[in-house]
Structures are given as C-alpha cells and as structure tokens.
C-alpha cells in the first residue's frame, strides 16, 4: 500500500509521548517529528510497517495556528528540544494532557482533582547545567554541542538557548571555547565512542542561578588530564569561577559521569539557593536544573504535605536533601534516603549550613534502606511517619519500596515525578493497596522539551 521513500500529504491530528506529530491517511498512522497539531504537511516515509509508518517532514504546506518559528537555528537537528516549533501555551496544554492521559490510561483513574499546570514565566535561559559532548568532525577538528535526537552524532552548538546567562553573558560559550583552545594547544584528544579512544568525553558546566558561582568539570577517558594548569589558568579568570575539576570515566557506556572527581581548582562544589535554603552542589550530585520552577515544585510538594510542626516525614530519593530541608523547617523530624554517597554528604552539610538539626540522612537504595530500617526499628516513631515524600528517577518506585511504604501507613504520600507513565503505574498499585489519588499538579521544569514534572497527593483510605 505504502512504500519507503514515498511522499505523502497529511494533517497532523495528535502528538505522541515523545512529542512526535501523528497523522492518518485512510486509517494508516504516520508519525512525523517536528510537527504540531493542525499542521498540513508533506512528508517522506522513512520506515513503513503494516499499520503505521515513520516519516520525515519535507514541508509545512499549511501551518497550524499553534506553530511558531523555532528561535534556535539548530532546534530541528538537536535532540535537546523537541517542542520549539510549538507555542509555549500549546506546549503546556500538551504536557498537562500527557499527565492526565497517563493517569487515566495507566493509572486507571479519573476520580481526582487535576490541577492546572504550573508554567514558566520565561521558557528559555532557565537551565543551570549543561553537559556538552566533545568529539571530532570529519576534518579532524574538535567539536562540541549536543547529541542529535536518538543518535550520538554531535550537532555543533556554542550557544544553547536553554542555558542561564548570568548578567546576560553566555558563559557556556566562553567556557567551551577556552576548553577547545586548551585541547588544541596541548594536543588533547577528543573521545571517540566507536574506538573507545581519545580523552575528553564531555564538559559539565553548572551555574548557581542566584550566586553566579560556576563549576566546570571535564569528563575524561583516562586518569590524568595533561597540562591541566593551562586549562585552570585560562578558566579561573571567568567571573564566578568556583570549581574546576575532572571526572574519570573509562567505561565503554552511555553514562556521562564516572565515580571519581579530581579537583584542579576550588574545593569541588558550588553553592546556590532555592528560596532561602542554601545548597552545596558537587559535580556528582543531582540538583534540579531549573531553579526558578524548583521553588514552585517544592512549594507545591510542601503544600500537599500540609505540615504543622509535629510530623515525622521521610524524603525518599532525596539527592542533596533539597526537599528534605524545606520539609524539616515545618516538621518534627525528616529522614532522607539517597543512593549516591556524595549527595548524602552534601545533604548533611546542607542541613548544617542552614542550621537544620531535625534531618537525618541514610545512604543506599530506598528499596533496601527503608525495608531494612522498618524491620530493625519496630516501634520507632520513624516507622510510623505522617508523610512520605518520594521523588524517584524516571523508572519510578520499586515495588519492594512501595510495599514497605504501605506497611508504614503514612496518612499522606507526596509523589514528585519526572515521568507520568511510571507515576501512573505506581498510583495504580497504591490504589490497589489502600491509598487514593487526591490531586495531581503538573509543573513545567523543562520548557521546549517533552518532559514534565508532576506532584501528586495520595492519601490513606480509612
């Protein structure tokens, strides 16, 4: 019926979970990246299956009223932004729908209060962190930028529109051009994934949105960074430079950071604030990338927790204790659990520098630490908490953990999620085990991308 490389025209009527446009021709489904609902497009079929096909956009014949001109010149090629050609209003609608539909379809419920999405005031220049892959082009020149969607070919980019620009300056650009000159001048090679040869794999940059402090960390396929003093000399003059280091990652995998960080300048961390809580952030620690929206996200989580000062609370997947410290100010006792040891070290220091004495932190996988704690401390107040907050990575909570959560029987569970599909799966499990979803609030932390955060309040049924 349809063939590969065939050109067809169609109307985009829906969007998939990765932001791809979906259209139909005589009941046959076609997925087209870079399109918006309402676009009439001409496409080229790139992969044809029995009932559906993937296609590449050739031309927008009639643009949707929701389409805008993508402000970044490499928006289409770069894998970082999927929704730049969609008006921000439409992006928010898409994300809110995605959360609601996942909870309905996977979670099996519509009996809850779906709150309006909390959007960003300025959906560009919000990221406090960038990770530039470094490589070589066909002419042997060092390049850096971002991966193209679904592949690891590097799309050169020296000025990403998502990065925070302190004082209106593109610091990422400045740093990356210094790193490139340092590499060229000192014959430092770029890493090549295929041969697993070459030294510099990635450059991680973090900027404190409120403090202006900057961290640069080169991820290398080796244990030594030659002539590093040259790099330090050039970088340390940048206003705000606080930490320069390298990270050792000699593994043949897709994980960006290895386990070990070697400091070259400064003591390995920067500081920043969320609200009035000060945080110490190391290269290996997780810290939310959008500080402005993080304040709103944590505010919502705190509102859901509804603390009065007498509560015992767990904060699972706590990172450097960000949510824990907000909770601790309003609770009797907070127990934080996190798998990365450095993050827990940061969490303890963060409690100290904020004068918080009622937070305790445990290191390990939540699905191991919490069940073990529950077994070994029967009768302790911590085993009968009032509220449990969870903020897991995309894969959601382990069932072993949820089992213990239910046995601990908190009145409230506040679920902060970065993947509404796994959130919905866990909601379904919890609803089958004595809990009920009350409300869900999507929060847009990642403007221009398909990702969306969500805070859900789940309460124990009497």
Catalytic residues: 418
Q: How many C-beta atoms surround the C-beta of residue 124 within 10 A?
A: 18
* Residue 84, both tokens: 């730049």
| Whole-number Å distance between alpha carbons of 145 and 367 | 37
DSSP-derived secondary structure for 235-281: HTTSTTEEEEEEEE---SSS-S--SEEEEEESSSEEEEEETTEEEEE
Q: How many C-beta atoms surround the C-beta of residue 214 within 10 A?
A: 24
| Whole-number Å distance between alpha carbons of 75 and 63 | 17
Name the one residue in this structure whose structure tokens are 């090549």.
Answer: 192
Burial class (CB in 10 A: 0-12, 13-18, 19+), 252: exposed
The contact set with ligand SAH (CB under 6 A) reads 286-288, 317-319, 322-323, 337-340, 343, 365-367, 391, 393
User: Which CB sits closer to ligand SAH, 153 or 211?
Assistant: 211
Shortest distance in whole angstroms from residue 279 CB to ligand SAH: 9
Shortest distance in whole angstroms from residue 85 CB to ligand SAH: 29
Shortest distance in whole angstroms from residue 336 CB to ligand SAH: 9
User: Which CB sits closer to ligand SAH, 163 or 336?
Assistant: 336
| Whole-number Å distance between alpha carbons of 288 and 246 | 21
User: Which CB sits closer to ligand SAH, 103 or 343?
Assistant: 343
User: Which CB sits closer to ligand SAH, 244 or 316?
Assistant: 316
Q: Is 60 helix (H, G, I), strand (E, B) or coil?
A: strand
Pairing status of strand 142-147 against strand 154-156: antiparallel
Contact of 443 with 396, CB cutoff 8 Å: no
Shortest distance in whole angstroms from residue 324 CB to ligand SAH: 8
User: Which CB sits closer to ligand SAH, 8 or 365?
Assistant: 365
């Amino acid at each position: 019926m349809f063939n590969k490389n065939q050109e067809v025209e169609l109307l985009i009527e829906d969007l998939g979970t990765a932001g791809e446009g979906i259209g139909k021709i005589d009941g046959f489904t076609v997925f087209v990246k870079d399109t918006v609902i309402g676009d009439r497009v001409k496409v080229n079929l790139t992969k044809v299956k029995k009932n559906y096909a993937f296609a590449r956009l050739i031309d927008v014949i009639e643009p949707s009223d929701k389409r805008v001109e993508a402000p970044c010149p490499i928006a289409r090629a770069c894998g970082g932004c999927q929704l730049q050609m969609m008006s921000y209003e439409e992006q928010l609608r898409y994300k809110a729908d995605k959360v609601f539909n996942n909870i309905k379809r996977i979670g099996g419920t519509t009996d809850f209060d779906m709150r309006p999405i909390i959007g960003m005031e300025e959906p560009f220049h919000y990221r406090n962190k960038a990770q530039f892959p470094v490589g070589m082009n066909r002419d042997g020149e060092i390049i850096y930028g971002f991966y193209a969607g679904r592949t690891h070919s590097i799309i050169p980019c020296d000025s990403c529109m998502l990065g925070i620009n302190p004082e209106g300056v593109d610091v990422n650009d400045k740093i990356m051009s210094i790193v490139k000159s340092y590499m060229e001048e000192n014959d430092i090679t770029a890493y090549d994934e295929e041969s697993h040869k070459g030294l510099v794999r990635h450059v991680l940059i973090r900027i404190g949105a409120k403090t202006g402090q900057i961290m640069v960390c080169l991820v290398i396929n080796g244990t030594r960074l030659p002539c590093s003093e040259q790099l330090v000399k050039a970088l340390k003059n940048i206003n705000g430079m606080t930490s320069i280091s390298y990270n050792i990652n000699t593994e043949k995998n897709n994980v960006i950071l290895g386990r070990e960080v070697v400091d070259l300048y400064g003591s390995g961390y920067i500081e920043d604030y969320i609200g009035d809580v000060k945080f110490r952030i190391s290269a290996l620690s997780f810290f939310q990338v959008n500080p402005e929206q993080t304040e709103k996200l944590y505010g919502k989580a705190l509102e859901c927790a509804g603390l009065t000062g007498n509560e015992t609370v767990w904060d699972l997947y706590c990172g450097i204790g960000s949510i824990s410290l907000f909770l601790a100010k309003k609770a009797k006792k907070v127990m934080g659990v996190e798998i990365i040891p450095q993050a827990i070290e940061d969490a303890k220091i963060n409690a100290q520098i904020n004068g918080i004495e009622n937070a305790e932190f445990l290191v390990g996988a939540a699905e191991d630490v919490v069940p073990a704690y529950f077994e070994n401390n029967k009768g302790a107040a911590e085993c009968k908490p009032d509220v449990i907050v969870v903020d897991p990575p995309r894969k959601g909570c382990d069932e072993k953990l949820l089992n213990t959560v239910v046995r601990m029987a908190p009145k409230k569970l506040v679920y902060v999620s970065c993947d509404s599909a796994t959130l919905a799966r866990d909601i379904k499990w919890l609803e089958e085990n004595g809990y009920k979803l009350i409300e869900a609030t999507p929060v847009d932390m990642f403007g221009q991308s398909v990702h969306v955060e969500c805070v859900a309040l789940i309460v124990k049924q009497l």
